Amino acid sequence: MNSTSAAKFIFITGGVVSSLGKGLASASLGTILQARGYKVKLRKLDPYLNVDPGTMSPYQHGECYVTDDGAETDLDLGHYERFTGVNAKKSDNITTGKIYSNVIAKERRGDYLGATIQVIPHVTDAIKEYILSDISDEDFILCEIGGTVGDIESLPFIEAIRQLGNELGLSKTCFLHVTLLPFIKTAGELKTKPTQHSVKELQGMGIQPDILLCRTENIIPEEQKSKIALFCNLKSETVIEALDSSSIYDVPIAYHNQGLDNQVCKHFELDLSKKPDLSRWIKINKIQNSSEGNVNIGIVGKYTSMIDAYKSLIEAVNHGGLANKVKITIKWIDSELIEDKNSNIKNIFKDINGIIVPGGFGKRGSEGKINSINFARLNNIPFFGICFGMQMAVLEFARNVLKLDNASSSEFGKTDLSLIGLLTEWQTKTGLETRTENSNLGGTMRLGAYECKLVENSFVKSIYKKNTISERHRHRYEVNNKFYLDFKKNGLIFSGMSPDNLLPEILEISSHPWFIGVQFHPELKSKPFNPHPLFASFIKASLNQSRLL
């Protein structure tokens, strides 16, 4: 198999334990290579059987990251986009489920002409095809393999990249293995054995890593690096230290200082004299170190015990902090604990300067969200409702201002006053999409980037400074615009609409210091070096609020 492009492939695997930050490591390497003037693309190969993470519980898998082209993907793609600014696509997240669905569909069509379908070569060929597909003029394709080396389910992926290593050759492939050096307190030592074993595991599958990135809480002494190199069949300089860092945005500079990009370039025999331009990261680092003051942001959600469910949101809030040169403290508020009106909300929100009600699903916890929105509205606390948060703001206003006591969402069951209803028809770039209550759950939401028109003289227009915006969606329900005029008469306007004027996309209350709800997920497009305007503005308003206290 031959790749027609000139791209070089870096395969990133993980060993010893999960949660090593492989995604962050890949994203960081991606951005440093960009800083050296190369064009990069990042891909995630996930060994689980789900076709995509869209149907996975946020409690188990964290956030489902949505791309412009409407793919529901792994949260690591969020890191990739935030660090490199390169928009991910459907073809950048591959799962075993997706591979098998395609292989089996081909088998049913008879495309294999009677062959016995096997993991090798049919599944591995399908994986290789994905890895090599949809590449244009990129210099580097970074492919992260999910899971930990040694897992049964990742075997076909490891085998596929081994074959690619062979077929494309050393000059076009590099294997980067991320491992852990645990520090044993009683011995006062960093231990190399788990790394040795995990490399042995990889070697047993035919892959000799070219570079090791060793996660550690302590500096790795030179003799330990030499020891790892000796046992893992490597040169000492290719054993790179990846020390824990207090901010993820310090990682690119730290990895560069440890020589990661140098070793990659050396491997591919590229020009080493050119140093990367890391000025955007140096700038962020400076802002982080010089930020003064603190803003407390309350996030009212249902998945607060699994904050990876809000990964992009946390980052976007922090970007808002960078834009205002202020530190952010996030206070997690479990919406189920404030369902009861007597739950002492006042005390819970006592030092909160801004309230976010983020995206969510289902009735559980929704009354707590409505109560917190009511508190923000009545007490002039900046409020930002995202997707489900906007929908709950509509219910809060309908019940408490319009006095529509039964106002509800059809997501919560049968209702005769459905202010939020199932979206059954909507326009996409390619035509009309339709849904019913009985549609499959996977991949059937309104997904990906849609345009939205901003209303003249609205607050959001002054924030975005644009007439039309494009933001990413992931939802099944939509605000029913039947009550549009009643809302308007009472001070809540829909200041962003779909281009056909049918779907309310943004709401705002102009008499409030900052009360905005959006049907989309602005957090997905925020970058540390380009904070999203809504988050920058929301944090500014929250900072002003903190000064009033």
Q: Which residues are catalytic?
A: 387, 521, 523
Which C-beta is closer to ligand GLN: that of 33 or that of 497? Answer: 497
Q: Which residues pair with 493 in a beta bridge?
A: 508
Which C-beta is closer to ligand GLN: that of 231 or that of 412? Answer: 412
Tell me the window of 298-306, 358-366, 450-458, 498-506 that interacts with ligand GLN (CB under 6 A): 358-366
Does 472 bind ligand GLN (CB under 6 A)? Our answer is no
Could you give the angle at the alpha carbon of 77 between the alpha carbons of 64 and 426, nearest 5°? 50
Place of tokens 């069509």: 109
CB of 361 to ligand GLN, least distance (A): 4
Single out the residue of 360, 382, 496, 517 in contact with ligand GLN (rule: CB under 6 A). Answer: 360
Tell me the window of 55-63, 246-254, 475-483, 540-548 that interacts with ligand GLN (CB under 6 A): 475-483
CB of 409 to ligand GLN, least distance (A): 8
Q: Which residues pair with 433 in a beta bridge?
A: 426
Tokens of 530: 């380009």
CB of 480 to ligand GLN, least distance (A): 12
3-state secondary structure of 214: strand
Tokens of 67: 């791309």
Tell me the window of 344-352, 470-478, 506-514, 523-531 that interacts with ligand GLN (CB under 6 A): 470-478
CB of 513 to ligand GLN, least distance (A): 24
Classify residue 488 as exposed, middle or buried by CB count within 10 Å of its CB (0-12, 13-18, 19+).
Answer: exposed
CB of 326 to ligand GLN, least distance (A): 27
Does 146 bind ligand GLN (CB under 6 A)? Our answer is no
Which C-beta is closer to ligand GLN: that of 446 or that of 461? Answer: 446
Interatomic CA distance for residues 533 and 336, integer angstroms: 30
Does 475 bind ligand GLN (CB under 6 A)? Our answer is yes
Place of tokens 């300089």: 237
Q: Which residues pair with 295 in a beta bridge?
A: 328
Does 411 bind ligand GLN (CB under 6 A)? Our answer is yes
CB of 486 to ligand GLN, least distance (A): 22
Q: Which residues of 44-80 are buried (b: 16+ CB within 10 A; e: fewer)?
A: bbbbbebbbbbebebeebbbbbbbbebbbbbbbbbbb
Single out the residue of 280, 474, 512, 525 in contact with ligand GLN (rule: CB under 6 A). Answer: 474
**Stretch (H or E) spanning 530:** none
Single out the residue of 359, 368, 528, 531 in contact with ligand GLN (rule: CB under 6 A). Answer: 359
CB 303, CB 548: distance < 8 Å: no
Which C-beta is closer to ligand GLN: that of 213 or that of 387? Answer: 387
Report the residue count for the chain.
549
Tell me the window of 10-18, 336-344, 359-367, 368-376 that interacts with ligand GLN (CB under 6 A): 359-367
Q: Please tell me the count of residues contacting ligand GLN according to CB under 6 A.
A: 10
What does the per-residue mask of binding to ligand GLN show for 424-463, with x meaning CB under 6 A? ----------------------------------------
Which C-beta is closer to ligand GLN: that of 225 or that of 474? Answer: 474
CB 214, CB 223: distance < 8 Å: no
Interatomic CA distance for residues 318 and 300, integer angstroms: 17
Does 387 bind ligand GLN (CB under 6 A)? Our answer is yes
CB of 475 to ligand GLN, least distance (A): 3
According to DSSP H, which parts of 5-114 are helical? 22-35, 58-61, 76-84, 96-109
CB of 387 to ligand GLN, least distance (A): 3
- Peptide bond just before 121 cis, omega within 30 deg: yes
Single out the residue of 38, 157, 303, 388 in contact with ligand GLN (rule: CB under 6 A). Answer: 388
Straight-line distance from the first to the last Cα atom of the chain, in angstroms, rounded to the nearest whole number: 65
Interatomic CA distance for residues 127 and 9, integer angstroms: 14
Interatomic CA distance for residues 281 and 245, integer angstroms: 14
Tell me the window of 92-100, 149-157, 468-476, 527-535 that interacts with ligand GLN (CB under 6 A): 468-476
Interatomic CA distance for residues 509 and 339, integer angstroms: 24
Indicate the residue whose CB is closest to ligand GLN: 359
Query: Which spans of this chain sit near ligand GLN (rule: CB under 6 A)?
Result: 359-361, 387-388, 411, 474-477
